[in-house]
Homo-oligomer: A and B are copies of this chain.
C-alpha cells in the first residue's frame, strides 16, 4: 500500500471514522482503523461492534485530485494514535506507505512517523444489507430528531429496549419515541420513500449510536438514505456509511399513554418557564429535583421548591389561555428542563389531567412533537 492524500479531507474523514472506535473494546483488532487503498480511492473503516463507520475517499472528486494511489493494499493502524497523528501533521499532503504488512510510514512536511500495524485480514467484515426497507430524510432534520428524542432514553440496563429510540413508519410518517418511564419524547416527521407501502415498527436504535451519528451529521438538507433490516440499520450519506445494531425486545406501545382530555391547561413562554425551573432547582440537592406548580387566579402560576436544609424558592409566572380547574402538582423539574431545552417553539402548551396523572407539554407552533411527564408523589 502506498498513497499520497490531500490533508484536510483525510483529517476530516479519519476523525469521523475514529468516532466508531472504542479504546475500551476487548477485541484488540477493533482498537484499529482499517485503511484500504484501491485504484478507485481509499476506504477507512472503524467499529466498536455496536456501530461501524465506513467512508470512502475517491481518487478524484469533480476537478479535484484527492488521492494519488501509488500501490494498492491495506493495513489496520491503532485508531487513537493514528487520528491524533494525522490531525497534527504539518504538511498539505500526507504520504502513507506500508513496507511489510505490520508497519506503516506516515510522512508529511518534515515529520516521519512509523506506526506498528495489525493484519487487515483479521478485521471483521461489515454487514451486507438488503436495501428493501429504505427511506430518506434531510440530514439536518435527522440531527434535530435525534436531539429532540435521544435525551429521554433510559440509561438503566434493567430494560435494555428503553435505552434506544423506537422508530415506526406508517402512512409516510416517521414516529420516533424515547422513554425512560418517567418521561416520554415523541417526534413525528414526513419521510421520502420509494415504496409508498413502506411501513414498519419496533425498530429500536441504541441511544448511544444516535448520539455518535449526530456528531457526524451536518446542518444542511442533503438527503440521507436509511436502510432497515432485521437487526441492523444503515445511514448512508454521500461516501459515508454508518451502521448500528438494533436492540432486541418489544418496545412498549406508547400511543395509549398520551392523555387526550384536559382538566387544566395553559400556554407559557418556553424560555421563561425554563429559567424559572432552573432557578427553582438551584436549591435542589441534585437527587429528586422536586418542583411544585400551582395555578393562581389571573393567568398566573406559582413555581415552588423547598430544600429543608438550605432554603426555599418561589416564583410567579404569567401564562396565557389558562383554562380548567385549579391544579397543584409536583414533578421532577430536571426532566422538564431537558425537554424545554430541545423545543424550538417560542411558547409551549401544558395540559394536566390530574395531580396524579401524566401531563403533556407541546410546542404551540406545530404538532411535530410532544413530551409526557409523570408527576411525583410528595406525601
Known contacts A88-B282, A275-B88, A113 near B81 by CB under 8 Å: no
Known contacts A81-B283, A88-B278, A282-B88, A110 near B313 by CB under 8 Å: no
Q: Measured between alpha carbons, how far is A111 from B311 in the docked complex, in Å?
A: 13
A60: Cβ under 8 A from any B Cβ: no
Q: Are A283 and B113 in contact (CB under 8 A)?
A: yes
Q: Are A315 and B283 in contact (CB under 8 A)?
A: no
Residues in chain B near residue A114, CB distance under 8 A = 311-313
Which 5 A-B pairs rank lowest in CB-CB distance, beginning with the nearest?
A: A115-B311, A114-B312, A111-B315, A113-B313, A114-B311
Q: Are B313 and A282 in contact (CB under 8 A)?
A: no
A307-329: contact bitstring with B at CB < 8 Å (1 yes, 0 no)?
00111111111000000000000
Q: Measured between alpha carbons, how far is A316 from B317 in the docked complex, in Å?
A: 66
A276, A278, A283, A314: most-surrounded residue (chain B CB, <10 A): A283
Known contacts A90-B275, A279-B111, A116 near B310 by CB under 8 Å: yes
Q: Are A310 and B111 in contact (CB under 8 A)?
A: no
Residues in chain B near residue A110, CB distance under 8 A = 315-317
A78: Cβ under 8 A from any B Cβ: yes
Within A99-146, the residues touching B (CB, 8 Å) are 103, 110-116
Q: Are B88 and A279 in contact (CB under 8 A)?
A: yes
Within A315-356, the residues touching B (CB, 8 Å) are 315-317
What are 29 A-B pairs at a CB distance below 8 A?
A81-B282, A81-B283, A81-B311, A85-B279, A85-B282, A88-B275, A88-B278, A88-B279, A88-B282, A89-B279, A90-B279, A103-B311, A110-B315, A110-B316, A110-B317, A111-B276, A111-B279, A111-B315, A112-B313, A112-B314, A112-B315, A113-B283, A113-B311, A113-B312, A113-B313, A114-B311, A114-B312, A114-B313, A115-B311
* Chain B: CB-nearest residue to A88: B279
Residues in chain B near residue A309, CB distance under 8 A = 116
Question: Closest CB of chain B to A23's CB: distance in Å?
Answer: 13
Question: Closest CB of chain B to A277's CB: distance in Å?
Answer: 11
Known contacts A90-B275, A110-B317, A275-B90, A84 near B311 by CB under 8 Å: no
Q: Measured between alpha carbons, how far is A310 from B316 in the docked complex, in Å?
A: 61
